[in-house]
Structure 1
Amino acid sequence: MLDQARPYALLLARIALGVIFLIHGAQKFLTGVDKTAAFFESSGIPLAGVAAPAVATLEVVGGIALILGAALPVFGVLLALVMLGAIVFVHLANGFSVGEGGYEFVLALAAGTLAVAFSGGGALAVDTLWQRRRQPATV
């Protein structure tokens, strides 16, 4: 029974994580990448003017990739690295609790993204569908 449910649980996790990243990236564009860059600079993030649009773009594209289940290992690692940067530069000094600006939520996003990225993505993942299509037919 667990084996039958696993692909659908991964699909739901993949979509939920993808939507979170997509919305956070879109918010950076909608509120203005210059404001995001200013926040990055105030947080001590190096090359804030380059990092802000890069992170916003990665969150949008990576979020879409998670939703689709495409290039999961690549985007999973990249998004987890962005979350690691958020922990180090923004949240670590605030402790663990998300209610106090801590790293709890960002750590969960990083861990969840890595888990989904290296699981095959579950049902309807483009990566899985692509692999099946590329495999030679067995006789």
Structure 2
Amino acid sequence: MMKTEVGIALVRLVVGVIFIAHGLDKFNGGIEGTVAFFESLSIPSPDLMAVVVALVEIVAGLALLLGLLTRLMSAILMIVMIGAVYMVKLDQGFIGGFEFDLLLFVVLLLFVINGSLFMALDGFLTKKKKRQRFGRR
């Protein structure tokens, strides 16, 4: 086991928790607040988009915690981050604006490029596929 794998796994776990918390927060006190915020940004279909974004953050965050479909879920969350920066944070500038979103985006890009096999279901599934390919149990 390499130190890098442990570090990536720890970062993956924290990022998963961050997205779960942000997704759950959109439902906190009812989704209506998020819908109103999305309406104020002129986001099309704010009722639908508020629920979709919240659920994507929760489901993808859980997947990151489990290390399941890490690359795919990270790519999906990158799209959410692009939308958040473009629609909300860009006008606020770097400091106090989109710096945290940029950090999350780059970490998600790391997961897309490298995946995360340590402490992850992806690692278990990869090992299982290799064993099946080579006729081992």
TM over 0.5: yes
| 1:91 to partner: Cα distance | 0.5
2:2 corresponds to which letter in structure 1? Q
Which residue of the partner structure matches residue 95 of structure 1? Answer: 93
Q: CA deviation at 1:87?
A: 0.4
What residue ranges of structure 1 are gaps of 5+ in the alignment? none
Contact 2:6 2:118 in 1 (8 A): yes
1:109 counterpart letter in structure 2: L
For 1:104, the aligned partner's letter is E
Q: Kindly report which structure 2 residues correspond to 1:1-139, keeping only aligned pairs within 5 A, or say none.
A: 4-98=2-96, 102-135=97-130, 136-137=133-134
Contact 2:117 2:124 in 1 (8 A): no
- Is residue 76–residue 117 contact of structure 1 (8 Å, CA) maintained in 2? yes
Please give the per-residue CA displacement for 1:64-102, whole angstroms capped at 9, x wherever unaligned. Answer: 00111111121111111101100000000111112xxx1
RMSD: 1.5
CA shift digits 1:82-136 (9 cap, x unpaired):
01100000000111112xxx11111111111121233121411111210111113
Could you tell me the TM-score, scaled by structure 2's length?
Answer: 0.91
Mapped to 2, the partners of 1:73 and 1:116 lie a distance apart of 6
Q: Give the structure-1-normalised TM-score.
A: 0.89
Cα drift, residue 43 of structure 1: 1.6
Misfit runs of 4+, over 6 Å: none
